[in-house]
Amino acid sequence: MATLPSLVLLTIGLFLPVGVFFFFSFWEARLFRLSRNWSIDRYSEVVSDQLYRGVIYDTLALAFFVATIVVFLAYICAYAMRFSVGPMRRILILFVVAPALASYLVRIYAWKTILSPNGVLNWLLMTMGLTDQPADLLGSLGLTVTFVHILFPIAFLPIYANLEAVNRDVIWAARDAGAGPIQTFVYVTLPLTKRSIVTAFLLVFILTAGDYVTPQLIGGRGSLMVGRVIYDQFGITGNFPLASALSFSLILAAVIFLALLFFVYRVLAALTSLVISPMISSLRFTPTPRLLGSIPWGKLLVGLMLLYLYFPLLLVAILSFNDLPIASFPFRGFTLKWYHEIFSDDVIRRSFVTSIQVACLVSILSVLIAVPGAFAVTRRHFVSKPAYLASVVLPISLPGVVIGFSILAVIRFLDWRPSLVSVVLGQTLYAFPFVLLIMTTALHDFNRTVEEAGRDLGCTYWGMLYRVMLPILLPVMLGASIIVFAISMDEFVITNFLVGSEPTLPTVIWSIMNRRGIPPTVNAVATILVAISLLFVISVAVYTLKSTNKRARVIRNWED
Amino acid sequence: MSRPEIGTLEVRKIRREFGRVRAVDTLNLKVEKGEFLTLLGPSGCGKTTLLRMIAGLERPDTGSILISGLDMTHSPPERRPVNYVFQNYALFPHLNVERNIGFGLKVAGTNANEAEKRVSEAIAVVQLQGLELRRVDQLSGGQQQRVALARAIINKPDILLLDEPLGALDLKLRREMQYELRQLHRRLGSTFIYVTHDQEEALTMSDRIIVMRNGTIEQSGSPKDIYKVPATRFVAEFIGETNILLGTCIGSQVKLECGAEFEARAEVSGQVAVSVRPEDIWISINERKLSDKAVTLTGRIVDTLFLGSFNRHKIELDGGIMLTIQQAAINQNTPLPGDSVAVSWLPHDAVVLPV
C-alpha cells in the first residue's frame, strides 16, 4: 500500500511512456505524422547508416573515456579528503555537493566561456602571444574537459561515502599485520570500495552517453553525440520513430558495451591475482624522502579539487560584472548593467517565478510520494522489494533524454500539449528517488525502540507516526525537500522536453545561451542562481548537522 | 634471533597531544620479556593512545619507543614486530575467517603450504575449527574476537598489544576469554600489553598493572601491591571498592575527622585521606574489640545486601559518615538494618594517602 503512490508515478511517468516510446521505434514518420506500419526499418537504418553507427560508437567511447578519468580523479580526491583532512571534511564535503546540485547549465556554460573562439582561454593565449589566431578548443577535447568537470561530484560522492564507511582501524589492522601502504591499498581499501567505484563509473558513463546539452554548447561542428542526434530528431525533423530507435539502440549498445567491459575486467582481475599479486608482495615499504614527506599532499589535493570545482563558476561571476558586450576578457570595468538588464527582463522574471512554483510543487509531491515508499522499504518485507528498489532508481539511472522524450512522445500521441503539469510530472519522477534514498537511510538508522516506546506508552500506530516519528524525522524531510527544490530549480535535461508556453528559468537561460554572441546577462543570472543554491544547500546542511548529529559528531571528532 | 632484548619494550619520555588535550604526557615505561602488563585507567586517560603509539598507529610528538631493543619511534606499523588486537576487532569485512587470519602471511609472501599449516594451527589455538570459510559478519562477537586474536598471533609478534579486546563481550564470555588469554600468554611466552578500564579484569590477568590518569602513570606494581598498597587516593578509589576517611597526620599519628586516632606508617603529613577496604573492616554487635591495637568506631546499620558468599553493609557512623563493610556470610546472627554496631580495623590495613 505504502508503495502505491510511487508506483503510480513510475507507471504514469516512466513505464507507460517508455513502453509507448518503444513501440514508436517500430513505426514510421511521414511528413510529421506517425504512420503505424510495423517494421524494424528504423533499427536497420540506425545499424546500416555509417553516421548513426559512428555516432553511437563515438558516444560510448567518449563516455568510457570520461568515466575512467572522472572515477580516477574522484577516487584520489575522495581518498585524500577521507584520510588527510580532519573533522573539517564534514563541512568541506558540502562545498563539493553544492555545485553538483545546482548549476548544471551554468557549469557547461562556464566551460563554453573558457573554451570558445572568443573565450577566456583564447584571450589568454593571444594576449600572451602564444597564438595569433583563436585556437579551436571546442570539440572532443573540450567535451571531455567539460564532462569531467560537471560529472566529478557525481562520482566523488558515492566513492567518498564508501570510503567514509571504511573503518580506519581495518586499514591500520592491515598495516599492523605487515602490509605496506601499497599492499594495504590493493588488498584492503580497494576491495572495500569496489562497489562505489562501479556505481560511480556507471553513473558517469550513463550521464555522458545520454547528454545532449554539452555537445550542443561545447561539441563544436565536428563531434556528434547520440544525445544530441536524438534531440535533433525531435527538434528539427520531428522524426519520433528514428529518435526512439536511436534511444533504444543506444541503451542496448551501452548494455552490451558494459557487459563486455565487465568481462574484460574479470579476465584482468584473474590475471592480476596471478601476476601482479606476487609482485606486490615483493614490494617493500620505502620511506618517503624527508622533503617530499613533509608536504601535506592530501590537503593540497583537496584544496586543488575545490579550486578546480569552483574556478569556472568564479569566472562566470567575475565576468557578470564586466563592462564588455561578450562574456570574456579583458576586464573593461565594473558594471551592474547586466543585473539591471535581467531584473527588467519580463521573460526572465516570469520564468523565475514559474520555476519557484514548480520547485515548491515538486518538493511537496516528492516527499509525499517518497516517504511512504521509504517506510515500506525499511519497515516491511515484501517479495518484490528488489524489483521495487530497482524501478525506483530507474528514473535517475536512465538518460534524461530518453525519459523526457518518452513523456513528450505520449503527450504528442494523445494530442495533448506539454504544460507545467508535464514539467511537474517529469521533475517529480526524477526527484522523488533522491528523497526515497535519503529517507531510507534515515529510517534505517532510526532507533526502532523509540517507535516501540511510543506504542507502549499508548499511541496508536498513526498516533505514534505523528507524535514520535514525524518530529524526529522532520529535519531530514525538510533537508530532503530543499535538496529537491534545488534539483527542480536546476533541472533542464528532462524539463526542456516538457515545457509548454510557460518556460522555467533554465529553459529560458538555454534559449539565451543558444543565441549568437552571448551577452553577459547569462552570467548575471547564473551568478545569482549559483549564489542562491550555495546559500541554500549550505544552510540546510549546517542546520541538519547541528540538529541531528551533534552528539554523534562530538564522538566521531574525538575518535579522529 | 636469540638477542636477549627480544620481547622487551622501552618507552622514553613519550608525549602526544590532540589539540589542547594532552593524551600522553612525558611518560616512561619499561616492559620485561614475557610479561603480562596491563594499562589500566578510566576512559580518556591515554592508555589506548599509548598502545597505539607502541604499535605505530599513532605518532608521538616527542620521545622514543624501543621495541626488542631497537628504536622504532619512526617505523611504520608494518615494520614493527608487534601485533595489535583492536577493540572492535577491525576484521576485514571482505575476507572470510581463514583469509582474515592468514592476511599477515599473505602480505609477507609466505609460501602457500607453510601458510596453510600455520593458519590451521592458529585456528586450532583459538578453537574456530569448522568456521574457516565463514564470512566474518556471520560470526558472534566471541568468535570475531577469536579471529582477531588469531590474526594477530599468527605473525608471531615479539609483543602482542590488546586494546580492550573483551570489552564488547558479555560477562560470562568475558570470564572465559580472560582465562583463555592467560593460557595463551603462558603457552606463547611472548610479552602481552593489555589495555582495559575494567579493574577486576586487570587484577585477575596481569603480572603487573600500570594505573594511568591524565596521560601519566599513577602507579605501577603487581595486582596485589596495587590493591593493598595504593600509592594515591585515585588508585585506591579506582581499584576495587574502598572507604575514604579524611583526617590529619602528624608524625605517625593519624587523627580522623570521625574521632578515631591511631598510629600508622605514614609518609605524608598534614591533611590526609585514609583508605580502608570494606573487607578489612570488622563488625560486631557487642563492642568486642578485634585486638587492642584495632581502631574502633560505633554506628548503625542502614542497609544490608546479601551477595551470596558475603554480606555488604552500609553503616552510618555516629558522626554521620557512611562506611561500606563486607563480611563473610557464615554466621547466622548477622546484624540487621537498624542495629547499633561497632566497627573496627587494624591500623596496618589502613593506607594513609595525600588528599
Which of B79, B93, B108 is the closest to A285 by Cβ?
Answer: B79
Check if A452 contacts B (Cβ < 8 Å).
no
pLDDT tens profile B209-252: 999 999 999 999 999 999 999 999 999 999 988 999 999 988 88
B296 versus B330: which is more confidently predicted?
B296
What is the DSSP pairing of strand B270-276 with strand B351-354?
A: antiparallel
Sign of the alpha-carbon torsion through A452, A457, A461, A464: negative
Taking the C-alpha atoms of residue B85 and residue B156, their distance in angstroms, rounded to an integer, is: 13
The proportion of chain A whose per-residue pLDDT surpasses 90, expressed as a percent, equals 12
Average pLDDT, integer, range A228-243:
76
Please say whether the beta carbons of B239 and B230 come within 8 A. Answer: yes
Taking the C-alpha atoms of residue A105 and residue A358, their distance in angstroms, rounded to an integer, is: 18
Q: Which helix (H) or strand (E) holds B231?
A: none
Cβ atoms < 10 Å from Cβ of B106: 20
The mean pLDDT of chain B is 89
Given a cut of 80, whether residue B325 has pLDDT beyond it is yes
Which residues in chain B are contacts of A183 at CB distance < 8 A? 107
pLDDT value for A376: 87
Q: Which of A394-398, A533-537, B277-281 has the lowest mean pLDDT?
A: A533-537
The cell numbers describing A128, all together, are 600572451
Check if B112 contacts A (Cβ < 8 Å).
no
Please say whether the beta carbons of B51 and B60 come within 8 A. Answer: no
Which residues in chain B are contacts of A278 at CB distance < 8 A? 109
Residue A172's pLDDT band, with cuts at 50, 70 and 90, is very high
pLDDT tens profile A85-129: 877 777 788 788 777 766 788 888 888 888 887 778 888 888 887
The proportion of chain B whose per-residue pLDDT surpasses 90, expressed as a percent, equals 54
Burial of A330 (C-beta count, 10 Å sphere; 0-12/13-18/19+): exposed
pLDDT value for A276: 65
Which residues in chain A are contacts of B109 at CB distance < 8 A? 278, 281-282
The 3 state secondary structure assigned to A389-417 is HHHHHHHHHCCHHHHHHHHHHHHHHCCCC
Which of B79, B90, B155 is the closest to A169 by Cβ?
Answer: B90
Residue B9's pLDDT band, with cuts at 50, 70 and 90, is very high
Check if A278 contacts B (Cβ < 8 Å).
yes
pLDDT tens profile B259-275: 888 888 777 788 899 99
pLDDT value for A560: 36
Check if B59 contacts A (Cβ < 8 Å).
no
Which of A172, A281, A285 is the closest to B57 by Cβ?
Answer: A172
Taking the C-alpha atoms of residue A507 and residue A525, their distance in angstroms, rounded to an integer, is: 12
- With left for phi above 0 and alpha for psi between -120 and 50, is residue B108 left, alpha or beta? alpha
pLDDT value for B119: 95
Count, residues in chain A: 560
Cβ atoms < 10 Å from Cβ of B297: 21
Q: Which helix (H) or strand (E) holds A13?
A: none
Check if B53 contacts A (Cβ < 8 Å).
no
Given a cut of 50, whether residue A289 has pLDDT beyond it is no
CA distance B137 to chain A (A): 14
pLDDT tens profile A353-390: 999 999 999 999 999 999 889 888 888 888 888 888 88
Residue B288's pLDDT band, with cuts at 50, 70 and 90, is low
Given a cut of 60, whether residue B340 has pLDDT beyond it is yes
DSSP secondary-structure letter at A12?
I
The cell numbers describing A347, all together, are 521573460
Beta bridge partners of B209: B38, B221
Check if A191 contacts B (Cβ < 8 Å).
yes
Which residues in chain A are contacts of B147 at CB distance < 8 A? none
Q: Cis peptide leading into A158, omega within 30 of 0?
A: no
Taking the C-alpha atoms of residue A282 and residue A276, their distance in angstroms, rounded to an integer, is: 10
Given a cut of 60, whether residue A406 has pLDDT beyond it is yes
Which of A169, A175, A177 is the closest to B88 by Cβ?
Answer: A169
Residue A556's pLDDT band, with cuts at 50, 70 and 90, is very low
Contacts of B149 (CB under 8 A, 6+ apart): B85, B126, B165, B184
Average pLDDT, integer, range A13-21:
85
pLDDT tens profile A206-222: 888 888 888 888 876 66
Q: Which of A455-459, A553-557, B188-192 has the lowest mean pLDDT?
A: A553-557
Please say whether the beta carbons of B339 and B298 come within 8 A. Answer: no
The proportion of chain A whose per-residue pLDDT surpasses 70, expressed as a percent, equals 88
pLDDT tens profile B36-66: 999 999 988 999 999 999 999 988 999 999 9
CA distance B57 to chain A (A): 7
Check if A463 contacts B (Cβ < 8 Å).
no
The mean pLDDT of chain A is 82
Q: Which among B78, B86, B136 is the top mutation candidate for probing chain A, defined by the most A β-carbons within 10 Å of its own β-carbon?
A: B78
Which residues in chain B are contacts of A167 at CB distance < 8 A? 88, 90
For cell 521505434, the residue is A25
Which of B90, B106, B155 is the closest to A172 by Cβ?
Answer: B90
- For residue A456, the SS3 value is helix
pLDDT tens profile A318-350: 888 887 777 677 777 788 888 888 888 888 889
Check if A183 contacts B (Cβ < 8 Å).
yes
Counting runs of H as helices and runs of E as strands, what totals does chain A give? Answer: 28, 2
pLDDT value for A76: 92
A44-49: long-range contacts, CB 8 A cutoff, minimum separation 24: A45/A242, A45/A245, A46/A242, A46/A245, A46/A246, A46/A249, A47/A249
pTM, two decimal places:
0.83
Which residues in chain A are contacts of B92 at CB distance < 8 A? 170, 173-174, 188, 192
Cβ atoms < 10 Å from Cβ of A456: 10
pLDDT value for A414: 81
Residue A451's pLDDT band, with cuts at 50, 70 and 90, is confident
A37 versus A421: which is more confidently predicted?
A421
B103 versus A343: which is more confidently predicted?
B103
Given a cut of 60, whether residue A134 has pLDDT beyond it is yes
For cell 602571444, the residue is A129
pLDDT value for A129: 77
How high is the ipTM of this complex? 0.83
Q: Which of residues 144-183 of B touch A (CB under 8 A)?
A: 151-152, 155
- For residue B334, the SS3 value is coil
Check if A285 contacts B (Cβ < 8 Å).
yes
pLDDT value for A325: 74
Q: Which of residues 187-246 of B touch A (CB under 8 A)?
A: none
Taking the C-alpha atoms of residue A337 and residue A321, their distance in angstroms, rounded to an integer, is: 8
Which residues in chain A are contacts of B87 at CB distance < 8 A? 169
pLDDT value for B98: 93
Burial of A400 (C-beta count, 10 Å sphere; 0-12/13-18/19+): buried
